[in-house]
Amino acid sequence: MKSILKTALGTLLGLFIFFLCITGILFIAIFTVLPEKNQRIEKTKSVLQFKTNFTIVEGANELEPALSHPVSLTNIRLFTLIEAIKKAKIDPKIKGISWEAENLSGGLSQLKDLRDVLCDFKKSGKFIYAYGQNFSQKAYYLASVADILFLNPFGNIDIKGLVTERFYYKNLSEKLGIEFSFFKEGKYKSAIETYTQTQMSKEDQQQTKQLLGSLWNTLLTDFSASRRLGAEKVDQITDELLGSTAESAQGNHLVDHLAHYDEFIKSLAQKLDLSAKESVNFIPVADYLQERKEKSGDTIAVLYASGTLLKGSGAQNIQDDYYMKMIDQIKKESSIKAVVIRINSPGGDAFASENLQRALLKLKDKKPLIASLGDYAASGGYYITTAADYIFASPVSVTGSIGVFGLIPNLKKLSDKIGFTTDKVGTHTNSLGISSTGELSRAYEVVFRKNIHNIYNTFIKRVSTGRKIPVEQVEKIAQGRVWSGKDALNKKLIDQLGTLDEAVKFAAQKADLTRYTLVDFPKKDPWISLLKDIYKNPGVDSSIYWEKLFVKKYPELFYEISALLFSDSLQMRLPFKISF
């Protein structure tokens, strides 16, 4: 017994000593690294460096671990990046920016906002130099603002244009024996076509072509201005993939110099007038970034609503109960004087959309409510914006899609093929409700069509009331049709083209604030929430895991399948995603 006790005490003592050693090492590392970082940041003639490939995210709740990013991209918030560049613009120690990010992930509106602030940085007289080996199209869109752009002699630039590719499962469904009953309001509402057709309808082709054309024109204008190329030349470069070799990229003025990395560093040193003994003092943006700290006093709340609109109380996507609690909290907090809701959603559940729109209307009764549209604020995503006092959008935001649809699978033929049957006993004609192994009854078909029609009419009325335009005018721009932010302004679906930063400033003006701090919602770590959900309920919504596992590798396939098959109610949802 004594020997066992002695062994146990020895083990505990060993673990304690191990813990002390690890703690000591961590403290040494922290106090060794931090002074070095501070010294580096305090040096004059410094260069702010964007080197790590990264993913641009919106809210704090999107700062997830690398598990969701198989290519090991680092998540950095858009607003924080913008604040860092603005700070660098007026920081006398920062002389320029070195853009070395060859690959990044982010939506069109995020890239546009970041690009605009980089252009503004140059107005200070400071420089931007860019270097890459293989620029993705997104990374090059930002790198193209550089005063001088360097490319590795073996490098390339993947400038190719915009596209959206849809999956169609009609033939597969027929082979499996799966049939669908479908209902929709809006001739351009094409989300259900993926199960009912083998290719795009004429209406879908028409709206998609116009949308992509509008988005590309904005990007084309930016490329042309930065590289001093005509629009026709940029289109030729894009069509013929003239950035695919370093020589071709330079010959077509996509880059200024072909150089190896050491030669790029030498050019930076010359730009900074450094001596041969001095080296360029790079400050990685991750070291320079300073997250906002919440302070007392008057505040403006920024409510980030990113993802699919769903019914539920979880932190994943935009679940109505979870967000309504936050909205109620914001409404009651006396220090919050105005609210900006940043929407980045293709839509989703019709009831969740209605619930959130109503909650936002009640919030607007208490405080100014300004909407800022991100990459997508379409269908249900646009539905909730109708509660706002004023709406900002990027020229490349995708919005509108005012329409509703429902899709009901019938597995009767499949069940016959694989050999199982069903039988039923009920008290009334329609007791069974919707059967997955039988045709939709005439009574339920009437009910569904009526519900779809009623929800669509309600959508039209919400837009008419919120935007203060006649119902007849809304009907002309509705029908499920999608619009770019630029076109949405002409249709009066939004009030102004502008960034999230501009929306915040407008909110401050509406609340008569000259000094204020920002507070973000939601604050909850989604991974902690997810682990709690798993612990409490092992049967938690499987679509969450589908998203975490597949959305990064197969975004179009995941979006189509999860959006329709994992839903159990009428939908207000965008029919596609755009690849850039």
* Among 112, 126, 189, 367, the one annotated catalytic: 189
* Among 98, 345, 379, 401, the one annotated catalytic: 379
Stretch among 40-49, 386-395, 415-424 having the lowest mean pLDDT: 40-49
Domain range for 104: 33-160+241-288
Verify that 269 and 307 share a domain, yes or no.
no
Verify that 278 and 318 share a domain, yes or no.
no
Contact criterion met (CB below 8 Å) for 527 and 547: no
Number of domains in the chain: 2
Contact criterion met (CB below 8 Å) for 395 and 112: yes
534-553 pLDDT, tens digit per residue, is 444 544 444 444 444 444 44
CATH number at residue 459: 3.90.226.10
Is 431 assigned a catalytic role? Answer: no
Is 383 a member of any domain?
yes
For residue 401, the model assigns a pLDDT of 94
Verify that 260 and 389 share a domain, yes or no.
no
Verify that 419 and 525 share a domain, yes or no.
yes
Verify that 435 and 500 share a domain, yes or no.
yes
Is 183 a member of any domain?
no
Return the percentage of the chain with pLDDT > 90, whole number. Answer: 58
Verify that 268 and 399 share a domain, yes or no.
no
Verify that 263 and 370 share a domain, yes or no.
no
Is 215 a member of any domain?
no
Work out the pLDDT band at 68, boundaries 50, 70, 90: very low
Contact criterion met (CB below 8 Å) for 401 and 482: yes
Is 200 a member of any domain?
no
Is 221 a member of any domain?
no
CB-based burial, 464-483: b 16+ in 10 Å, e otherwise: bebbeeeeeebbebbbbbbb
Verify that 402 and 539 share a domain, yes or no.
yes
Closest by CA to 303, choosing from 11, 85, 521, is: 521
Verify that 395 and 252 share a domain, yes or no.
no
Is 67 a member of any domain?
yes
Return the percentage of the chain with pLDDT > 70, whole number. Answer: 79
> Dihedrals φ, ψ of 55, to 5°?
-105, 130
Is 379 assigned a catalytic role? Answer: yes
Q: For residue 40, is pLDDT > 60?
A: no
Q: How many CB atoms lie within 10 A of CB 241?
A: 15
Which one-letter DSSP state was computed for residue 163? Answer: B
Verify that 428 and 481 share a domain, yes or no.
yes
188-231 pLDDT, tens digit per residue, is 888 888 888 999 999 999 999 999 999 999 999 999 999 999 99
